[in-house]
Homo-oligomer: A and B are copies of this chain.
Amino acid sequence: MARRVDHSPDELKKMILDAAEALVVTGGLSELSARKIAQKIGYAPGTLYNVYANIDALILTLNGRTLERLYDNLSRLPMNEIKDLGAVNENIEKLLVGYLAFIDDNRNLWRLLFDHVPASDETLPEWYDQKVSMLLNIVDEALRPILPGITSEEQREISATLWSSLHGIISLADKKKLGVVISQSSHKVCSLLITTFLNGLKDHEGFSGNIPKTIGGKSDD
């Protein structure tokens, strides 16, 4: 029953990805299987393996698309132009709210980003790291105004620190592994982290907050 003409390889690739996504959206990772995808698109299971090396590769591709969507979401958020410490805090907060909204709208896809542990523990492909990097660029940009005097490597380090911290809070809250512990919503806890972290950057080398009327006491060493 070959029907090469029905769908081009690229079409087929997209069909598979869409079917996989639909399954994940509906029932999470546990609902995803080669046979279910095949059944959904009207092909035999073996066909998937002409297009994707294995299910891990398929999931990685799907995760890439999710990262892209997240990027689109966050990069479209309106930001404060004025960029003193308070405004930067607000901007980061906006990114957080956007992120949390994205998670709310795409919970199972978002979970797939972290829940799925690929069999081979090799490093991720370059194109995947690229997409993560793009996301961090957004954080970089939001933070830059208060850290004019540091290298881009330091900058990236600080962004990554903040971002992965927020990830830690959100993901533990999602897994309910801090269930009893955090009565507050993860949003509130994240906000606490952001404020505290940014406040803590005050004494960092290269910091410049244009501190208007924030809380006083800037020490310098």
Contact = CB atoms under 8 A, between A and B. Distances in A.
A19 interface: no
Overall SS of chain A's interface: helix
B123 A153 contact: no
Contacts of A156: 181-182
A142 B175 CA distance: 26
B179 A164 contact: no
B202 A178 contact: no
A145 B172 CA distance: 26
Contacts of A198: 200
Interface string A56-70: 000000000000000
Contact of A182 (B121, B157, B192): B157
A97 to B, nearest CB: 17
A2 interface: no
Given A129-B181, A181-B129, A181-B160, A175 B30 contact: no
A94 interface: no
Given A153-B183, A199-B200, A203-B199, A124 B176 contact: yes
B129 A180 contact: yes
A67 to B, nearest CB: 10
A154 B202 CA distance: 23
A171 B172 CA distance: 11
A132 B177 contact: yes
A178 B42 CA distance: 37
A158 to B, nearest CB: 7
Contacts of A151: none
Nearest to A130: B180
Query: 5 closest Cβ contacts across the A-B interface?
Result: A168-B168, A200-B200, A165-B165, A196-B200, A199-B200
Given A157-B192, A161-B193, A166-B168, 7 more contacts: A29-B117, A160-B178, A161-B169, A165-B169, A167-B172, A197-B197, A199-B199
12 contacts: A30-B119, A111-B117, A114-B175, A117-B175, A124-B179, A156-B181, A161-B192, A165-B165, A165-B168, A196-B204, A202-B217, A203-B217
